[in-house]
Structure 1
Amino acid sequence: MGQPVNVGVVGCGAISAQYFRTIDRLPQLRLVAVADLDLDRAREAVRSYAGVDVLSVAELMADARIDVVLNLTIPAAHAEIALQAIAAGKDVYCEKPLAATAADAGRMLRAADAAQVRVGCAPDTVLGTGTQTARKAIDDGLIGRPVAATATMMTPGHERWHPNPDFYYAPGGGPLLDMGPYYVTSLVTLLGPVATVIGAASRTRAKRTIGSGPRRGEDIPVTVDTHVTGVLVHASGVLSTLVMSFDAAATKAPRIEVHGEEGSLVVPDPNHFDGDVLLSGVGDEGWRALPAAAGYVGAGRGVGLADFASTPAGEEPRAGGTLAFHVLDVMESLLASAHSGTAVHITSTCERPRPVALLDQVVPR
């Protein structure tokens, strides 16, 4: 299987534990070092992982052992850390979104191209059996020609449970930039790139109150839209209706539905790797669950990093920077449309990521 890819992680916040567990169980990845502004937090994060060094960011970037930097910082710091990794000659894989703005993301990709290193980005949930089985059903013609889709995420907001939710309500956050990457990446994976968007947005409160942790009861400012809706016009002609909200109590709407001329699919939550794909054809009286037919089985956050690391040189990774930039461009353009009241043409594009065959692990080619 060759030598494992050595990973250095910058940012040891809440999401890092999920990545560490996945890296620990995949033989093609090796966690060698972590860095965080809070070194005590970094030490605690890797306390149960023997042999992992705790370094400063500068030390980690200079460490010749590290092949790829896993960037788990807050969105506002994604570009800064990624550019440092690129300047050090290392591949970089970011937590979503790729950057706080498309302009920053573009700088990252241009720098990576000039340095001949690669950029990858979450979400990798679309590589699991849920979205991949739905994609195979579409590609196999089970719903006929796709016509429309809906994607819905309605919650009261993350301040109820997250002890430090400030970044969710700052530039680079909000329901669209936080959760939208899962949904838009899934829609692009299922239906291809987006050509035009039409949006609307609102902001119901100027502040939010933290509901847990040592800062419980503290108010934080809201500087982003907290309810965003719109239509994505895919290059294929499919129309996807998107609703992302931190202003609702709950919803019974499926996370994603895809409708074709001959049938409809319910697609599992794109924030998870698996789940039942439901199919109802024209004339059917109900829904039937499809067996898992594609995707990584039992995957966890970090499987996209392994897929990225094992992608041959010259081939775009499934969780690659081009896809992540297009998704960010779509979301940023949707907000621009909401504020201008006019449709916005998407200047970027990407290929649909290669499908994932039904596998039980990520293996290098």
Structure 2
Amino acid sequence: MGQPLKIGIIGVGAISGQYLSAFERLDAVRLTAVADLDAERAQAVAAAQGVRALTVDELLSDVDVDAVLNLTIPAAHADIALKAIANGKDVYGEKPLAATTAEAASILEAARAAGVRVGCAPDTVLGTGIQTARKAIDDGLIGTPVAATATMMTPGHERWHPNPDFYYQPGGGPLLDMGPYYVSALVTLLGPVASVIGAASRTRDTRVIGSGPRAGETVPVAIDTHVTGVLQHESGALSTMVMSFDSVATRAANIEIHGHTGSLVVPDPNHFDGDVLLHPLDGGWQTLPVSAGYRDAARGYGLADMAATPAGRAFRASGELAYHVLETMTALLDSAAQGTAIPVAGSCPRPEPVPLQDAPQIGTPS
């Protein structure tokens, strides 16, 4: 405690820029090195940040790296995480925690044995949007939560993404791509999930790339592109999810939470902020003032929250939460394939709320 966590980034593609921008205002973390399979890209980022460019193996064993920020592709998440853990380093990764629940479980088991910490995105749930909604629920503004809806409807990523192939192969699809934001938010708001029941479909077996140098090229679709289902939370609340690459548009709120004395409209869980709307039983819609969460948060606040949390205490964007989210989504897809309800075998604690503040601060954990 009292010193920033020294961070080494593996994978400095496009998403790394958002983390690097946030690091500039986060005292709880300090970048010391970067690595990438593209050595020139790593050197360019290192020069811009005033840090060292290393090979992946060099960074994993470097004594000036306390924690590895794993921004590799999902298929490499488990390999990099396990190697970092074997070198005694904390790990924080982009979602998902791993490509499969088996790989994710192996990461958590290795971390427990080594006595290191594992964190994982999304950390959007730590911003003022989701946290203000959570405080409204915890303060009893909607009474007992009964139900929620979570809706993500798009015509498909091939319309804008120049290389959308992954989204239409196993491991992709609307649920595994965007579901981590929605399920993480639902668990933060309503607690862990006990069981699921789902259904899924697809409209066509090919997609046409709409932009970039491959525009007009056809890509195969090997997965269902419309997934819907119900999550039964341990609390008894029921969340209905619709995640689709087969729609055109929707006017539905990203997330709504309904209780016996009120309803909430929750902002987009892919963002850190946004208005929270409350409709009490006897009244009309009103915008709630911001009352909880990290102000002006961005990618990397979950890592800083981990860094600022004393050893032995639970931090919020944890590997346990990420594993529960992955297990919930996998169970939902299995339920859709099997046509039956499926229990979610594991659980996780509901993350601690975030009091309204600017950023995680070393020595003053919230």
How far, CA to CA, are the matches of 1:14 and 1:215 in structure 2?
20
Instruction: Please tell me whether the aligned partners of residues 277 and 290 of structure 1 are also in contact (alpha carbons under 8 angstroms).
Output: yes
Partner residue, 2:129? 130
Partner residue, 1:185? 184
Question: Residues 157-176 of structure 1: matches in 2 within 5 Å?
Answer: 157-176=156-175
Partner residue, 1:5? 5
Question: Residues 54-93 of structure 1: matches in 2 within 5 Å?
Answer: 54-93=53-92
| Residues 1:144 and 2:114 aligned together | no
Question: Residues 207-222 of structure 1: matches in 2 within 5 Å?
Answer: 207-222=206-221
Instruction: Please tell me whether the aligned partners of residues 264 and 279 of structure 1 are also in contact (alpha carbons under 8 angstroms).
Output: yes
Name the SS for the 1:25 alignment partner.
coil
Q: Deviations over 1:212-256 (max 9, x none)?
A: 334433333333322110000001110000011111121110000
Partner residue, 1:290? 288
Partner residue, 1:327? 325
2:204 maps to amino acid: R
How far, CA to CA, are the matches of 1:193 and 1:322 in structure 2?
11
How far, CA to CA, are the matches of 1:217 and 1:26 in structure 2?
43
Partner residue, 1:119? 118
2:48 maps to amino acid: S
How far, CA to CA, are the matches of 2:72 and 2:163 in structure 1?
13
Partner residue, 2:260? 261
- Give me the identity figure in percent: 68
1:48 maps to amino acid: A
Instruction: Please tell me whether the aligned partners of residues 4 and 307 of structure 2 are also in contact (alpha carbons under 8 angstroms).
Output: no
2:282 maps to amino acid: G
Partner residue, 1:38? 38
**Gap change, CA 1:134 and 1:102, over 3 Å in 2:** same
Instruction: Please tell me whether the aligned partners of residues 88 and 114 of structure 2 are also in contact (alpha carbons under 8 angstroms).
Output: yes
**Gap change, CA 1:153 and 1:290, over 3 Å in 2:** same
**Gap change, CA 1:41 and 1:156, over 3 Å in 2:** farther
Deviation at 1:79, TM superposition (A): 0.7
Q: Deviations over 1:135-168 (max 9, x none)?
A: 0000000000110000000112223323333332
Deviation at 1:46, TM superposition (A): 4.6
Instruction: Please tell me whether the aligned partners of residues 33 and 46 of structure 2 are also in contact (alpha carbons under 8 angstroms).
Output: no
How far, CA to CA, are the matches of 2:327 and 2:258 in structure 1?
25
Partner residue, 1:359? 357
How far, CA to CA, are the matches of 1:223 and 1:46 in structure 2?
39
How far, CA to CA, are the matches of 1:311 and 1:216 in structure 2?
47
Partner residue, 1:226? 225
Choose 138-147 or 14-23, whichever is displaced more: 14-23
TM-score normalised according to structure 1 size: 0.96
**Gap change, CA 1:324 and 1:250, over 3 Å in 2:** same
How far, CA to CA, are the matches of 1:170 and 1:222 in structure 2?
6
How far, CA to CA, are the matches of 2:51 and 2:66 in structure 1?
15
How far, CA to CA, are the matches of 2:206 and 2:304 in structure 1?
39
Deviation at 1:47, TM superposition (A): 4.8
Q: Unpaired runs of 5+ in structure 2?
A: none
Instruction: Please tell me whether the aligned partners of residues 24 and 31 of structure 1 are also in contact (alpha carbons under 8 angstroms).
Output: no
Name the SS for the 2:240 alignment partner.
strand
Deviation at 1:30, TM superposition (A): 1.2
**Gap change, CA 1:191 and 1:312, over 3 Å in 2:** same
Q: Deviations over 1:62-108 (max 9, x none)?
A: 11110111111111111111111111111000101111111110011
How far, CA to CA, are the matches of 2:307 and 2:243 in structure 1?
31
How far, CA to CA, are the matches of 1:31 and 1:164 in structure 2?
30
Instruction: Please tell me whether the aligned partners of residues 75 and 97 of structure 1 are also in contact (alpha carbons under 8 angstroms).
Output: yes
How far, CA to CA, are the matches of 2:123 and 2:225 in structure 1?
24
Instruction: Please tell me whether the aligned partners of residues 186 and 270 of structure 1 are also in contact (alpha carbons under 8 angstroms).
Output: yes
How far, CA to CA, are the matches of 2:48 and 2:211 in structure 1?
26
Instruction: Please tell me whether the aligned partners of residues 297 and 361 of structure 1 are also in contact (alpha carbons under 8 angstroms).
Output: yes
2:123 maps to amino acid: D
Deviation at 1:45, TM superposition (A): 4.1
How far, CA to CA, are the matches of 2:131 and 2:185 in structure 1?
9
Deviation at 1:115, TM superposition (A): 1.0
Between the two proteins, the alignment pairs up a number of residues equal to 363
TM-score normalised according to structure 2 size: 0.95
Instruction: Please tell me whether the aligned partners of residues 209 and 219 of structure 1 are also in contact (alpha carbons under 8 angstroms).
Output: yes
Partner residue, 1:242? 241
Choose 208-217 or 7-16, whichever is displaced more: 208-217
2:200 maps to amino acid: A
